[in-house]
């Protein structure tokens, strides 16, 4: 995985801008019918194609072009739950970001509606728009919605060529950092029909969070194997690590949605046994198989069943969702949990409010295989940008993405005006106000590396504005304000932080990628939820001792009968046709 990322990054940085398209003018606000950008009829190329949908004929397109006449595109505004309570429509849409987009590119957005970014609100509204055929100039959709649009006559199918023509080198670098799979996921009949907005796949790698203060108090060492982890859990249960004189501690936080990586889940534990639930993995015969049905899961289930039998996890875990299960960590009844890099922000940050000496650290996954455990990750596309085939300026969408990449990759005083104060008075980039945004997949790992260098050398010049908040947290923590600096130090710091662990995975090329990177197959849409329900039912019963892994083969046969066999066939038809 690391080698692939390095090669792709190098190739992307060396790549020149490809041939581009001309475009007619799509505007409210005074554009003339022939359309013109500075220098000619096509925004960047100086040529005119008239239909705005073809990239053919343009050369040396300028990714930072400015339209000569105003261009206004329609779209939908989805309000992140993070800012929903305090969202101000006027403040968001008239922010400096959008003002400067107008100033530098002469592009404005006419928002057709504002809705919460939830399945019941914005996602449903977009599905209705697709079904009615009434879509805006551009919109952001999920993979299932893209699959529907691929079969429609609503979208511009030349957007891949337009992206190649107008995307800046940096936008291409960010988009292609996880390899060909990103753009492959946006293909239909061999043609890229949407622009993927990427996130960081490596940021969702499982890790183990553990109380270092308890390890030191009990004279233990950090576990590297699953047997060693078991011994630590027993000690945490039996040796009163919280020092309250009560028999009230358990071995590990564990929730009832344990195959969903978050906090207090079991994904990392399964990975320690070489099992990869809910991931499509190579089957050894040139095809793919569903990781949840692989033989390696039996050992992980037996391990969890032993933990349950011995009281190392809550006896009522099957009734505890993530929030309820996390109370064991927050109240210092548990000092171990599997989870993700953001867990220092929640729920582990609340532990230190109750126990000022709590010292959670992140470590790589313990292994039962004799080799380093491989954390599972998946291609992370946070959305697909589709463009209405009637939009006369599809290249404007790429121009806006170039603008985002340029402004988000800011450093120095010239970008300080883009920042806004959050609820705590910290200056942050208003990312939740921006709909068209994509990310450099190594962004957070880079911030970590820059913070570590700054902490070790005293030179913080490489730490960008986003990283400054976490850097200041690290300094607070080091200076004794453990509660105030906990989240930043434990996520990005230099003392067994989450990104210390992710950096270890990256340096040692340990990530195991889910090989299925496209929209759900037909049978997935119809039957996968039934298959997943059966998996959770059986796994939970095995852990609680109601079932045994002796019946595992029968269980897999039942999954196949419920539709997994047909799903696997469809997945492999896609895989072999790539």
179 plus 210 within the same structural domain: no
Give me the number of domains the chain comprises.
3
For the segment 399-443, what is each residue's pLDDT rounded down to a tens digit? Answer: 999 999 987 755 445 555 656 665 556 555 566 788 999 988 899
pLDDT at residue number 362: 98
For tokens 């551009």, the residue is 138
DSSP for 343-399, please give it: GGTTTHHHHHHH-TT--EEEEPPPBSSSS----EE---EEEEEEEBTT-S-THHHHH
Does a structural domain hold residue 271? yes
Tell me which of 26-40, 91-105, 254-268 is least confident: 26-40
Q: In the chain, what percentage of residues exceed pLDDT 70?
A: 85
CA 171 to chain centre: 17
pLDDT at residue number 96: 80
Does residue 4 register a pLDDT over 60?
no
197 plus 214 within the same structural domain: no
pLDDT at residue number 366: 98
451 plus 410 within the same structural domain: no
Contacts with 276 (C-beta within 8 Å, 6 or more apart), sequence order: 270, 291, 294, 376, 512, 514
pLDDT at residue number 375: 98
464 plus 550 within the same structural domain: no
- Separation between Cα atoms, residue 166 and residue 20, nearest integer Å: 6
- Separation between Cα atoms, residue 475 and residue 455, nearest integer Å: 8
How sure is the predictor about 59, in pLDDT bands with cuts at 50, 70 and 90? low
Q: How much is the average pLDDT of 337-361?
A: 95
Does a structural domain hold residue 103? yes
Cβ distance 106 to 349 under 8 Å?
no
Does residue 53 register a pLDDT over 90?
no
163 plus 273 within the same structural domain: no
pLDDT at residue number 430: 61
pTM, whole model, 2 decimals? 0.84
For tokens 């039957």, the residue is 527
Does a structural domain hold residue 137? yes
CA 470 to chain centre: 19
pLDDT at residue number 446: 94
For the segment 176-198, what is each residue's pLDDT rounded down to a tens digit? Answer: 988 888 999 999 988 999 999 99
Could you give the C-alpha distances from 320 to 200, 257, 265, 316, in angstroms and in order?
A: 29, 8, 11, 7
- The token duo for 179 is 């390899």
Range of the domain at 237: 206-371+520-577
Does a structural domain hold residue 512? no
Does a structural domain hold residue 252? yes
For the segment 142-156, what is each residue's pLDDT rounded down to a tens digit? Answer: 998 999 999 999 999
Contacts with 331 (C-beta within 8 Å, 6 or more apart), sequence order: 354
pLDDT at residue number 115: 95
pLDDT at residue number 381: 94
- Of 507, 530, 548, which marks where a domain is finished? 507
22 plus 56 within the same structural domain: yes
286 plus 348 within the same structural domain: yes
170 plus 270 within the same structural domain: no
How sure is the predictor about 91, in pLDDT bands with cuts at 50, 70 and 90? confident
130 plus 25 within the same structural domain: yes
pLDDT at residue number 5: 42
Does a structural domain hold residue 376? no
Q: How much is the average pLDDT of 305-311?
A: 98
Find the radius of gyration of the CA atoms of the chain.
25
- Separation between Cα atoms, residue 237 and residue 311, nearest integer Å: 8
126 plus 103 within the same structural domain: yes
396 plus 304 within the same structural domain: no
- The token duo for 474 is 């690290």
Does a structural domain hold residue 438? no
The whole-chain average pLDDT of the chain stands at 87
For the segment 193-252, what is each residue's pLDDT rounded down to a tens digit? Answer: 999 999 999 999 999 999 999 999 999 999 999 999 999 999 999 999 999 999 999 999
- Separation between Cα atoms, residue 365 and residue 442, nearest integer Å: 21
Does a structural domain hold residue 514? no
Query: In this structure, is the dihedral angle defined by the CA atoms of residues 391, 396, 401 and 403, taken in order, positive or negative?
Result: negative
Strands 336-339 and 512-513: unpaired
Asked if omega into 291 is within 30° of 0 (cis), the reply is no
Does residue 23 register a pLDDT over 80?
no
CATH of the domain at 351: 3.40.190.10
Does residue 454 register a pLDDT over 60?
yes
DSSP for 258-278, please give it: TTS-SEEESHHHHHHTT--TT
156 plus 282 within the same structural domain: no
């Amino acid at each position: 995985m690391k080698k692939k990322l390095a090669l792709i990054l190098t190739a992307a940085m060396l790549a020149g801008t490809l041939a581009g398209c001309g475009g007619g003018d799509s505007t409210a606000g005074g554009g003339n019918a022939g359309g013109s950008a500075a220098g000619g009829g096509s925004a960047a190329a100086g040529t005119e194609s008239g239909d705005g949908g073809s990239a053919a004929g343009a050369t040396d397109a300028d990714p930072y072009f400015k339209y000569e006449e105003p261009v206004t595109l329609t779209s939908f505004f989805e309000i992140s739950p993070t800012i929903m309570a305090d969202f101000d429509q006027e403040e968001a849409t008239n922010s400096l970001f959008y003002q400067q987009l107008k100033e530098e590119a002469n592009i404005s957005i006419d928002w057709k509606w504002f809705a919460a970014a939830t399945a019941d609100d914005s996602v449903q509204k977009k599905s209705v728009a697709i079904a009615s055929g009434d879509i805006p100039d551009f919109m952001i959709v999920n993979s299932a919605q893209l699959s529907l649009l691929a079969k429609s006559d609503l979208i511009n199918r030349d957007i891949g060529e337009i992206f190649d023509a107008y995307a800046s080198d940096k936008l291409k670098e960010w988009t292609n950092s996880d390899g060909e799979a990103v753009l492959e996921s946006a293909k239909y009949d061999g043609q890229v029909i949407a622009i993927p907005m990427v996130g960081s796949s490596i940021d969702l790698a499982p890790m183990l969070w553990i109380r270092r203060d308890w390890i030191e108090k009990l004279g233990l060492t950090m576990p590297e194997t699953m047997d060693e982890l078991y011994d630590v859990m027993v000690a945490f249960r039996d040796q009163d690590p919280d020092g309250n004189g009560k028999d009230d501690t358990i071995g590990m936080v564990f929730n009832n949605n344990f195959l969903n990586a978050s906090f207090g889940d079991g994904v990392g534990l399964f990975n320690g046994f070489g099992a990869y639930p809910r991931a499509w993995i190579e089957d050894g015969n040139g095809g793919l198989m569903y990781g949840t049905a692989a033989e390696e899961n039996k050992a992980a289930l037996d391990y969890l069943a032993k933990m349950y039998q011995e009281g190392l996890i809550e006896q009522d875990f099957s009734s505890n969702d993530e929030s309820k299960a996390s109370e064991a960590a927050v109240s210092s009844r548990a000092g171990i949990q599997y989870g993700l890099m953001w867990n220092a922000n929640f729920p582990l940050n609340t532990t230190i409010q109750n126990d000022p000496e709590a010292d959670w650290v992140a470590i790589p996954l313990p292994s039962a295989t004799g080799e380093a455990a491989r954390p599972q990750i998946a291609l992370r596309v946070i959305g697909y940008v589709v463009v209405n085939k009637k939009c006369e300026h599809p290249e404007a969408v790429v121009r806006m993405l170039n603008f985002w990449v340029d402004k988000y990759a800011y450093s120095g005083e010239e970008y300080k005006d883009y920042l806004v104060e959050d609820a705590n008075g910290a200056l942050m980039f208003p990312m939740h106000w921006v709909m068209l945004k994509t990310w450099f997949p190594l962004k957070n790992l880079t911030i970590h590396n820059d913070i570590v260098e700054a902490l070790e050398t005293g030179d913080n010049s490489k730490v960008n504005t986003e990283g400054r908040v976490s850097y200041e947290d690290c300094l607070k923590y080091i200076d004794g304000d453990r509660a105030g600096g906990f989240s930043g130090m434990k996520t990005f710091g230099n003392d067994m932080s989450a990104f210390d662990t992710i950096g270890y995975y990256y340096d040692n090329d340990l990530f195991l990628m889910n090989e299925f990177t496209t929209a759900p197959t037909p049978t997935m849409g119809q039957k996968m939820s039934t298959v997943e329900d059966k998996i959770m039912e059986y796994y939970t019963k095995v852990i609680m001792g109601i079932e045994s892994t002796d019946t595992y083969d029968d269980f897999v046969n039942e999954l196949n009968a419920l539709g997994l066999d047909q799903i696997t066939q469809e997945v492999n038809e896609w895989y072999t046709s790539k």
